[in-house]
Amino acid sequence: MAWNKVYPLLTTNISGSVTQITTNFTAIESVMSAEHVSYLAALSGTHRYGQVSTMFSGTYAAILDLANPATSAAPATGALAYDTGCGVCRIYDGSAWPRVTATYFSRLHGYRSTSQSIASAAWTEVVLTTESYDSLAEFTASTGVTTIVAPGWYLVVGTITWPTETSLNYKKGVGIYIAGISACRDVKYGKEVRETEVYDIINITAGQGVKLYAYHSYGSSISIAGANLMLTRLS
């Protein structure tokens, strides 16, 4: 509040006519209103629609730019945007709009409900085709790959459903690979084994891909009946 603007109106003609006092208070109200609007503009910035349509891929709801609220200016470093395409916030770093991930926790379930042929005696990638939930849009259905957005410690769980087999004992395994390298595996042996699962807590870096792999020692290719990959960021 600009007190130097209000004080003269309080002290001028304070003992004057009712009309003069009313005029003074009307002027005071105008000053206070203008100052309040100015303060809110400085505090809240300006919601700017259509300002960064070419600066990041996706759709957005608004831009909040505290440092540079002018609608005609380029965003200042630190400006925030809400990306409605994948439901995350982005912050302008001076040249690009990376996602704000510090407060977002990844929760994802990708799966395959149809068969896939798996060669014998070789760890083979299982191509997941569908997601049931994906909080940060990390799963790509066309490739079946989950690409981590936020670095941290993750609980990862993988399962493989094998065909019913009543006559032959052979190894059946499931593994989770991070950036092309095995992070955890589990192998079971026996004709009664229908489901294999593996789980672990793994430190994963942003940008690394998470994939599910299957293994068996049947002697020739067989088809799995289904598969699941679930992960949750813990910290």
Question: Along the 235 residues of the chain, how does pLDDT read in single tens digits?
Answer: 444 554 454 455 555 554 554 455 555 455 444 444 343 333 333 444 344 444 444 555 555 655 555 555 566 777 777 766 666 777 777 777 777 655 457 899 999 999 999 999 999 999 999 999 999 899 998 899 999 998 899 999 999 999 887 677 889 999 999 999 999 999 999 888 899 999 999 999 999 999 999 999 999 999 999 999 999 999 8
Let me know whether 224 and 112 are in one domain: yes
Helix (H) or strand (E) holding 10: helix 3-11
Let me know whether 23 and 128 are in one domain: no
Let me know whether 175 and 213 are in one domain: yes
Let me know whether 134 and 191 are in one domain: yes
Let me know whether 198 and 163 are in one domain: yes
Are the C-beta atoms of 204 and 151 separated by less than 8 Å? Answer: yes
- What pLDDT is stored for residue 106 in this prediction? 87
Are the C-beta atoms of 48 and 71 separated by less than 8 Å? Answer: yes
Structural domain span for residue 36: 3-44
Residue 91: alpha-carbon gap to chain centroid: 13
Let me know whether 147 and 196 are in one domain: yes
Let me know whether 55 and 70 are in one domain: yes
Helix (H) or strand (E) holding 83: strand 80-83
Are the C-beta atoms of 188 and 170 separated by less than 8 Å? Answer: no
Rg (CA), the chain: 30
> How many structural domains are present in the chain?
3
Let me know whether 7 and 79 are in one domain: no
Let me know whether 197 and 168 are in one domain: yes
CA distances from 34 to 26, 27, 63 (A): 12, 11, 24
Q: At what angle do helices 3-11 and 18-44 cross, to 10 degrees?
A: 170
